[in-house]
Structure 1
Amino acid sequence: MTTARDASRGQGEVRVRTVGRGKVSLVESATDEIRGQIVSGGWPVGSRIPPESALSETLGVSRASVREAVRSLVHAGLLEPRQGDGTFVISDDDSALALRRRLERAELTHVTQVRQGLDVVAARQAAKHRTEAQLAGIEDALARRGAALAARDGDAFTAADAEFHILVAEAGANPVLADIYRSLSAALREELRRAACLDTATAARTDPHSRLTEAIRAQDPQAAVDAAVQLLAGHVRDLALPLDD
């Protein structure tokens, strides 16, 4: 086995087998090896996979083969490329693909209705169960959101905003809720983009994301719920969605 340097933040080293050269194509073999690292937890959800050049050397295949393998896993819903930041693991379960594709086709009204229920639960649970490390992650996403807002960087703002909500869900000690939020990630980003959140955040006098973070820091479930309700009310208003049915 050959050791590959994991280029994700703080991931250390991950071992990957050099692909075989039998009847299975090099692309298929590389895809299987990368998928295996994801499913086994070698590259956990949220981590960045090694760069194309490192994978090519480790697997003993061309960069073109690696590129096709990564592209297939992006299509499968396991990986997500982020411009200027690398490719990240967003799921370790192939079965999540069908749900993710369904969510990507969903009407924005329906996505927001689902979020109305989930965000309240996620906020309450995060305030009760968050760890110091999880709180630090939430605060970091909030800071990046603020920096992107100040820079008027819409893509970075949307990415940080979506990550903020996913991290809140992950802090709730409920793996089912966290998995649902990760599956919602693409639809969540589209909702944020459609809501023109960069413009509405600029105009806002107070930021419910900051209120939510403060409530989670203080481990105050009711304050967290109140902040989540205020936050979702803003989305409903900005999108002009009929959610009273």
Structure 2
Amino acid sequence: DHMLNSGAGGRVEGFEDKYIFGRRANGLYVPRFANIAGDTKRRDYVRGFGYQGGASRGQWSGKVDNKSVGGAWKDAIAEPGSWGVGFSAFGEILPYHENKVLLDSSVKDKWGLPVLAIDAEIKDNERKIRVDASNEMKEMLESIGVKDVTTYDNGFSMGQGIHEMGTARMGNDPKTSVLNKFNQVWDAKNVFLTDGAFMTSSSCVNPSLTYMAFTARAVDFAVNELKKGNL
């Protein structure tokens, strides 16, 4: 999965005459820059993170606790709040051997089949990424004049990123992997898995295009194998 729920945000001054309108795409993205080369190398962890973010203006509800009364109170909540900008880091989780999915030995579904038992957690490398990602964004926001910048870490549980990967990983040996290099199940030649199950690492970016590329590759292989009579 991708780690999330850590980052930084703050208040932006100088755009009080502007307000949001429409519903056009206007998100922000900062690509990974840690552990790329040279002075981006980190000594205390490997791999890295990217950011997704956005800006918005506060609504009237943020002013309901102002201390004015009567008409002054109404005037106060008639004006929109201040602008804010924030970024959430999406970090890579390393492919630990201990993280696994098993068939539950005691719990069964309504059809009498064992349910999945997920045993996975982040470790020290991921915790260090979370701290660095929050601190780096705080520094960047402060450097461009954002006010009252604060960092946050709201914790993370596996599955929150909704990009679960690695439950039927790809490999070169059927003893240590479920799929071969063409996403084909070792023990069922006519079955191909091209979702996140085959990935051995989550990276720190949205994997959808990668899944699509591997799907096209697997289909091409399957068609050729079918023509040869191997499927």
Q: Could you tell me the TM-score, scaled by structure 2's length?
A: 0.23
Higher relative contact order (CA 8 A, sep 6+): 2
Higher helix share: 1
Q: Could you tell me the TM-score, scaled by structure 1's length?
A: 0.22
Higher strand share: 2
Q: Rg bigger for which structure?
A: 2
